[in-house]
Amino acid sequence: MKKYHRPVTLLAVTLALVGLLGAVLGACGSGQKDDGGGAQVEFTTYTDKTYGFSFQYPKDWKVEENASFGATAGAGAKAAMGVFDPKGAKAGGEYIDMLLAAVYELNVTIDESMMGDVKAELENLLAQIEAQSPDAKVQGDLTETTVNGMPGFMATYTFDKNGEPATSTLYFLFDGPIEYQVTVQAASKNWQTLKPLFDTMVASFKAGTSR
């Protein structure tokens, strides 16, 4: 019987800005939404050309489709991209207020009967993150979540990025044989301000066609 398993590589919780794109690729559609604090934010939609997943993000944020991830994406990601706030916080010259998305093709189709095993594997992953980086601390327990019909789990942790305290929430979402890992992160000083925006972005995340 096949079980869910994904190895973890060492931690580097950030988007590597490789050849920053001057244009927003793969974006279409727009609309305004409340950012949670009463301000209106204009959103646009990113749709992945290969896997078809989509989500909304602030129109003035930038897209990086040649994204490189560390441990939170793990080994074997088939696709990885991110959107970041070009006016947001930096650490060591890197933008850190962002949403990251990674896609994994699993060797098993995840159903409800397997979620207990999935949770145990993810708890092990989070324990490895803490063990590999002394400044990374998981805040609370791994909790169940559902995003647009996709079951999954979420966890929040804090860490240090080049001397800048940062906070991140990881979402592990499952659509049959596809796993989406969606990560929102920000400088801790910006976290409470950006959290309503992140919640809107994650709530808009939709799966593509299961492969």
Domains of the chain and any CATH numbers: 27-203 (3.40.1000.10)
Query: Which among 202, 204, 201, 207 has a CA at the least distance from the CA of 57?
Result: 201
- Output 76 or 52, whichever has higher pLDDT: 52
Tell me the whole-structure pTM to 2 decimals: 0.81
pLDDT in tens, 171-193: 999 999 999 999 999 999 999 99
Query: Which among 208, 197, 139, 138 has a CA at the least distance from the CA of 173?
Result: 208
pLDDT at 124: 87
Q: Are 65 and 81 in contact (CB under 8 A)?
A: yes
Segment among 17-31, 50-64, 92-106, 149-163 with least mean pLDDT: 17-31
pLDDT in tens, 129-176: 788 877 888 898 999 999 999 999 999 999 888 888 999 999 999 999
Q: Are 165 and 187 in contact (CB under 8 A)?
A: yes
pLDDT in tens, 190-210: 999 999 999 999 999 999 975
Pairing mode, if any, of strands 54-58 and 62-64? unpaired
Mean residue pLDDT across the chain: 80
Give the model's confidence band at 77: pLDDT under 50 very low, under 70 low, under 90 confident, else very high. Answer: confident
- Name the most confidently modeled range: 32-36, 46-50, 73-77: 46-50
| ∠ Cα 139 198 29 (to 5°) | 160
pLDDT at 7: 47
State the chain's maximal CA–CA distance in angstroms: 51
Residue 101 CA to residue 53 CA, distance in Å, equals 10
Going by the DSSP 8-state scheme, the letter that residue 108 receives in this structure is S
Class of residue 197 by CB neighbours under 10 A (exposed 0-12, middle 13-18, buried 19+): buried
Q: Are 68 and 80 in contact (CB under 8 A)?
A: yes
